[in-house]
Chain A
Amino acid sequence: MHEEINGLLSAYADDELGSKQRKEVEKHMSVCGECRDEVAQLLELKTLLSSTYEELEMKNSNMEQMVLARIRSESAHEPQSSRGGVAAALAGAMILIAFLWFASSVITKGIHVGVTLTSISFSLIRSAFSVAGALPNLLEIFLVLALIVLLASGWSVRRLLDTKSTG
């Protein structure tokens, strides 16, 4: 019994036991001096901990300004460059997808139509970039829109080619 209760004393000192366990601990403590002493020592330790670290203060009196200065300098150059990286990766992925999409149709069903469509898709990407460049905050949105347009045009091309080859 003593061992079992002893393992609960720390949580008892923190008042983190359910009422059933708390009552068991209190019942045991009424007959066990060792556990009573241990609870007293635990409470003393808790008080010592909070009083020791409570009185510590920072030497730096302008923490707010220093943090804000760092925030400003970091937000001044960071987002733009990372955004550019993401945009480049997205554009690369889009071109690849567009090519794969066309490739299956183009190679099997005629290069002539394919070349035209590839140049259309390139001009789409190019125009997406020039618009997005003017509004850097909306770059991602435009890229996603461009992707949707590309996919839609790709789909209509496949249909076109299908109709052409069957007709």
Chain B
Amino acid sequence: MDHELQQLIVKAKKGDQDSFSELIQRYKRKVFRHAFAMVHDQMEAEDITQEAFVKAYFSMDHLKEEFAFSSWLTKIVANLCYDRIKKREKQPQLQMDPEQTELIADTQSEVENLQLKISLQLAMQKLTPGHRTVIVLRDIQGFSYQEIADILEIPEGTVKSRINLARKELRKELLRG
């Protein structure tokens, strides 16, 4: 972790809002991506992002080590996403509009590429929140198995087997289309 970032976190812990604002600027994309990959809804993901930072600000006291800021923040986001998904379990899932694809893409390969990405997002929505979470943490956020174990408070062996299962599920859903 670079020294500047550490200083920002130390100052934010003391309640300095300018430093916290800079932390938001640094981490907002990461937080948003996580939320989006969990809920697949632009507005809701932005709302979760906002809520995560507000929550983080008021619980900075609980952050024991500055170097763990990223994991700690991710834990907050992961929990928020879980709660949201639980609340809306019965609601219909958002579907992508295939016509939109043709508007953005020009060439055949671009169309195929976009369709693949849309299929992936649809397949991700079919996974259980637990499976989706480990995929997000590993392949979208790039955390190590050890870090994921710390974030989710589960053994590393469980992380390993859960990622393995989640990917099998995801590939099955992708092939199903």
Contact = CB atoms under 8 A, between A and B. Distances in A.
Q: Determine which residue in B24, B135, B142, B167 has the highest number of CB atoms from chain A within 10 A of its CB, and name it.
A: B167
Contacts of B144: 16
A67 B54 contact: yes
Contacts, number: 88
Q: How large is the interface on A (under 10, 10 to 19, 20 to 34, 35 or more residues)?
A: 20 to 34
A11 B129 CA distance: 20
Contacts of B32: 56-58
A160 B85 CA distance: 64
Contact of B36 (A49, A56, A64): A56
A46 B160 CA distance: 15
Interface residues of B, number: 38
15 contacts: A9-B164, A10-B163, A14-B138, A41-B171, A46-B139, A53-B36, A54-B140, A57-B29, A58-B32, A59-B42, A59-B46, A63-B46, A67-B50, A67-B57, A71-B17
B152 to A, nearest CB: 15
Given A11-B145, A58-B45, 10 more contacts: A10-B164, A16-B144, A16-B160, A41-B171, A48-B120, A54-B140, A66-B50, A68-B21, A70-B54, A71-B54
Contacts of A53: 33, 36-37, 140
B145 A16 contact: yes
